[in-house]
Amino acid sequence: MSTESRVAVVTGAGSGIGRGVALALAGAGWQVALAGRRREPLEQTAALSPSSDVVCVPTDVTSPEAVAALFDSVRERWGRVDLLFNNAGTFAGGGTPVEELAYETWRSVVDVNLTGAFLCAQAAFRTMKDQSPQGGRIINNGSISAHVPRPHSIAYTATKHAMTGLTKSLSLDGRPYRIACGQIDIGNAATDMTARMQTGILQANGQLAPEPVMDAADVAATVVHMAALPLEANVQFATVMATNMPYIGRG
């Protein structure tokens, strides 16, 4: 991809994987819009950026109006969108048995993880289709849970399986418009969200066991590689995981 116009939107950029990817993209020369629910964490990410060419855009990804405003602001600032890292997500209700999961919790996970991802992808797709030069790339943050579940994770797992369908449909529908879509499935990157994995987490056999983690910077490096490819090439699915985590042979 040309270095003259590399504009990225990163959702969930206020912490964890989103922050790491946003900083890595900025370090690789991208102009980056940092999107997330709260301004303060976004500003903390911006303060860590190796580039000053970043902007904070507080965004509720479950709101069509807020997502539209996010992409409007990016176009107004930089004129185009070359990359969406569709990363915002929640693990609400994780650890709750299916029979005890509240409807409101189910809805909140679906709204953020699936509807939010769709709304951001739709807005990016519209922009990429209409801009000149036409095209761009969408990278969805799936999960190991897009393949196999953890115990008591039905809402999260269902949305991550749905993310794979979203990725495939976007990839197919984007072909005529030079819009590439791929998915990165991440296993046990070391973030605040995965801290409990190092002390003990429920396994499929009912036991608690610690799990190895990997540096989140390795995830960021993979996203930067996927993003840097020419639009004629696409990493359709990438799995990046702690080498010894219980995925191959899980359960």
Residue 44 lies in a domain: yes
Note if 156 is an active site residue. yes
Residues 229, 218: Cα–Cα separation, whole Å: 17
What percent of the chain has a predicted confidence (pLDDT) above 90? 79
140: part of which helix (H) or strand (E)?
strand 136-141
Confidence grade of residue 3 (pLDDT, cut at 50, 70, 90): very low
Average pLDDT over residues 49-76: 97
Model confidence at 133: pLDDT above 50: yes
Distance set, CA 79 to CA 76, 131, 132, 165, 173 (Å)? 6, 8, 10, 30, 23
Decide if 87 contacts 94 (C-beta within 8 A).
no
Residue 158 lies in a domain: yes
Residue 143 lies in a domain: yes
Residue 246 lies in a domain: no
Residue 247 lies in a domain: no
Which residue range forms the structural domain that includes residue 224?
Answer: 7-241
Residue 56 lies in a domain: yes
Confidence grade of residue 201 (pLDDT, cut at 50, 70, 90): confident
Model confidence at 251: pLDDT above 90: no
Residue 117 lies in a domain: yes
Residue 251 lies in a domain: no
Residues 223, 202: Cα–Cα separation, whole Å: 29
Model confidence at 1: pLDDT above 50: no
For helices 16-27 and 39-48, the axis angle rounded to 10 degrees is: 40
Task: Report the CATH number that the domain containing residue 48 is assigned in CATH.
Answer: 3.40.50.720
Distance set, CA 97 to CA 105, 191, 234 (Å)? 12, 24, 38
Domain count, the chain: 1
Average pLDDT of the residues of the chain: 93
Active-site option among 103, 156, 177, 247: 156
Please choose, from the candidates 173, 93, 160, the residue with its C-alpha nearest in 3D space to the C-alpha of residue 125.
173
What percent of the chain has a predicted confidence (pLDDT) above 70? 96
Supply the pTM of this predicted model: 0.93
